[in-house]
Structure 1
Amino acid sequence: MNLLITGGTGFIGSQLIENLKAEGHSITVLSRSESKEKDGVRYVQWLHNNAKPEEELTPPDAVVNLAGVSINEGNWSEEHQKKIYESRMEATDELLRILEVLNGKPDVFVNASAIGIYPTSETHVYTENSPEIAHDFLGETVHEWEKKASKMKEFGTRVVYTRFGTVFGKGGGALPLIALPYKLFAGGPIGSGQQWISWVHVEDVARAISFVISTPSLEGPVNVTAPAPVRMSDLGKAIGSVTHRPHWLPVPGIAMKLALGKKSKLVLEGQHVLPEKLIESEFTFKYPAIRPALANILE
């Protein structure tokens, strides 16, 4: 299969490309760097002055749009929030423009998304059928991003919004921030400890994207979270157990807010989200439970 990917050099994109290469697919990545071929992957320049990627591309069978500034970076100042929002909108606009001028249209368009579209709650359980939308920065950004990606339906393309949970993996994601106090022997409950963490291993994220591409029945929102979310207190205990560090020193919410600003929302508030569509489609998670996932990453 001929696949076109944006955001292919990021945390999730790098894992996805390794998986797709192992499956034998032909991969083209839209990149800000000069066009080149490396390790069996073709890189085509875009979002750069005078770049005309449409002249170098053949119509793809599938597109995966992961482009955008990471929400795990920066301090979520107003300026940084603007970058998070605009990087997604501008990249998706340009991708839509490129696909519109190509002769053939993709069979499927997979757009990255996030469970941040759901309101935070300690009691509610969300699935893809939940109609609630969070009216905050993350919720509105995700909602607008999905709305923009939905324009691909006009080409007769199947559109999927992969709503990623809190992604754990080596060398990126949210886990380094959460695990750091444990490495310093100062780990403990963060905030109330009752907030839900709907996590997922980065390998399962990449596997889920491949699964979505090859499963024609999947469209619209697809939650990409492990089937067993955990509360923050239980996550902390698991991290302490795996790293052989104590879980004893509470971290007050106010301390996290002072240290991280608005980004503290990522660890102080959460949602209980289930991957109902993946489960019903018989997707098999490699890491369905938190302890084996943490052991793979932290040991």
Structure 2
Amino acid sequence: MSTTVVIIGANGFLGRYLCRYFARNGREVVAIARKKEGWSGDGMFLEWDGKEIGPWAYALEGAELVINLSGRSVNCRYIPQNREEIIRSRVDSTTVLGRAISECRVPPRLWLNASTATWYRHAEDRAQDEWDGEPGEGFSHEVAAAWEDAFFSAKIPAETRKVALRMGMVLANEPGTVYDILSSMAGRGLGGAIGNGDQRISWIHMEDFLRAVEFVMREPFMDGMVNLTAPDFPTNREWMRYFRETVGMPIGLPAGERLAKIGAAFMNTETELVLKSRWAEPLRLKEAGFRWKHAKADAAIEDLENRPGLAGFFRESARRSAGAKAWLPATAR
């Protein structure tokens, strides 16, 4: 039985961690990306352009898993050119991967395709699950819908199971990620509520993300859509307090919607990434019996403080004393 795992978009944030995780768990890893820069060095690297079938397609033959994470970052201004590139990069890579799988003599057993929890509507009143969640609107939903349409419309052999992973924010202590940016803001006294502070956050600790991917691999009857999030949905106000507690900063200046828009423009990003409420319930993982190691946001954020970078993450996390958190007054938490 083949134990080959093919990771497309292997030089990105999630791809690096997946390559290291599967390599350390005895899988043969094939890493595919447009360039080597950013790749963890685990497994064998193959180059592709994300548009045309090439020699990389031979790696799909009989693979245990193919996971597609390819797509331009959404952390940018949504000008027309960037919007087009964000959608096209996801649709093109998914389409060509579907064509390559359809031509396999021995197709892979499972195709996981990245998607996003922003498929769901902006919700502050109730969680959205896979069975009765309501579709959203706006550009983020447009991206998610086009991505999933390309995935589910791909005509591939019935032997290949397909699952779209609707992911929340994946947390790891990595430069340039959500965790890094919010920790830095909190450390500078800027870790107050953003917008009205009531918007919900869907997130997942990197360790649970990796475990959930493998869990889905082992569940032969799980297909369709799966929400990859933690079962805890703090408000933005609570979320920012957890970061302040972790870095030991007793104050956090809030940023109303107008100030958030100015800050987003300065950082060359969009306020939608922090102002939109994401409340995706991981109902299917719960029903299938998945158990989170980091189910609460405050403990997850604190755990990652001592696990910086790829190497730090895969070291055993040291027990952290209450330290800075202990002296914070209750009103600042």
- TM-score scaled by length of structure 2: 0.83
The separation in 1 between residues aligned to 2:124 and 2:77, in whole angstroms, is: 25
1:189 maps to 2:196: no
What does residue 53 of structure 1 align with? Answer: 55
What does residue 263 of structure 1 align with? Answer: 270
Instruction: Give the secondary structure class of the aligned counterpart of 1:75.
Output: coil
1:64 maps to 2:71: no
Q: 1:207 to 1:158 in 2, by over 3 A?
A: same
1:89 maps to 2:114: no
What does residue 239 of structure 1 align with? Answer: 243
User: What amino acid does structure 2 have at the position aligned with 1:183?
Assistant: G
Kept in 1: contact 2:189–2:249 (CA 8 A): yes
Equivalences, count = 296
Shift of 1:247: 3.5
What does residue 288 of structure 2 align with? Answer: 281
Per-residue displacement from partner, 1:23-79 (whole Å, max 9, x unpaired)?
211111222237xx98551111211899722564350232101101122x3222222
The separation in 1 between residues aligned to 2:51 and 2:233, in whole angstroms, is: 44
1:230 maps to 2:234: yes
- The percentage of aligned residue pairs carrying the same residue is 26
1:1-299 alignment, distance < 5 Å: 1-33=3-35, 39-47=41-49, 52-54=54-56, 56-57=58-59, 59=61, 60-71=63-74, 73-152=75-154, 154-156=156-158, 157-171=160-174, 172-261=176-265, 263-299=270-306
Kept in 2: contact 1:146–1:161 (CA 8 A): yes
Kept in 2: contact 1:152–1:159 (CA 8 A): no
Kept in 1: contact 2:20–2:40 (CA 8 A): no
User: What amino acid does structure 1 have at the position aligned with 2:196?
Assistant: S
User: What amino acid does structure 2 have at the position aligned with 1:271?
Assistant: R
Per-residue displacement from partner, 1:182-221 (whole Å, max 9, x unpaired)?
1212321111011001111122112211111121121111
Instruction: Give the secondary structure class of the aligned counterpart of 1:161.
Output: strand
Instruction: Give the secondary structure class of the aligned counterpart of 1:144.
Output: helix
The separation in 2 between residues aligned to 1:18 and 1:133, in whole angstroms, is: 34
- The structure whose residues are more often strand, as a share, is 1
Instruction: Give the secondary structure class of the aligned counterpart of 1:135.
Output: coil
Q: 1:246 to 1:80 in 2, by over 3 A?
A: farther
Kept in 2: contact 1:58–1:102 (CA 8 A): yes
User: What amino acid does structure 2 have at the position aligned with 1:114?
Assistant: T
Q: Flag the structure with more relative contact order, 1 or 2, with Cα contacts below 8 A and sequence separation at least 6.
A: 1
Kept in 1: contact 2:129–2:282 (CA 8 A): yes
Which ranges of structure 2 fall in alignment gaps of 5 or more residues?
307-333
Q: 1:48 to 1:62 in 2, by over 3 A?
A: closer
Single out whichever of 46-55 and 261-270 deviates more from structure 2: 46-55
Kept in 1: contact 2:6–2:29 (CA 8 A): yes
Q: 1:151 to 1:106 in 2, by over 3 A?
A: farther
Kept in 2: contact 1:67–1:87 (CA 8 A): yes
User: What amino acid does structure 2 have at the position aligned with 1:163?
Assistant: R
The separation in 1 between residues aligned to 2:42 and 2:278, in whole angstroms, is: 39
Kept in 1: contact 2:51–2:93 (CA 8 A): no
Shift of 1:106: 1.4
Instruction: Give the secondary structure class of the aligned counterpart of 2:270.
Output: helix
Q: 1:247 to 1:32 in 2, by over 3 A?
A: same
Question: Which consecutive aligned stretches of 4+ in structure 1 deviate over 4 angstroms post-superposition?
Answer: 37-40, 48-51
The separation in 2 between residues aligned to 1:49 and 1:122, in whole angstroms, is: 38
- TM-score scaled by length of structure 1: 0.91
Shift of 1:288: 0.7
The separation in 2 between residues aligned to 1:38 and 1:15, in whole angstroms, is: 8
Shift of 1:115: 0.4
Shift of 1:289: 0.7
Shift of 1:144: 1.5
Shift of 1:100: 2.2
Single out whichever of 5-14 and 37-46 deviates more from structure 2: 37-46
Shift of 1:228: 0.7
The separation in 1 between residues aligned to 2:50 and 2:290, in whole angstroms, is: 38
Which ranges of structure 1 fall in alignment gaps of 5 or more residues?
none
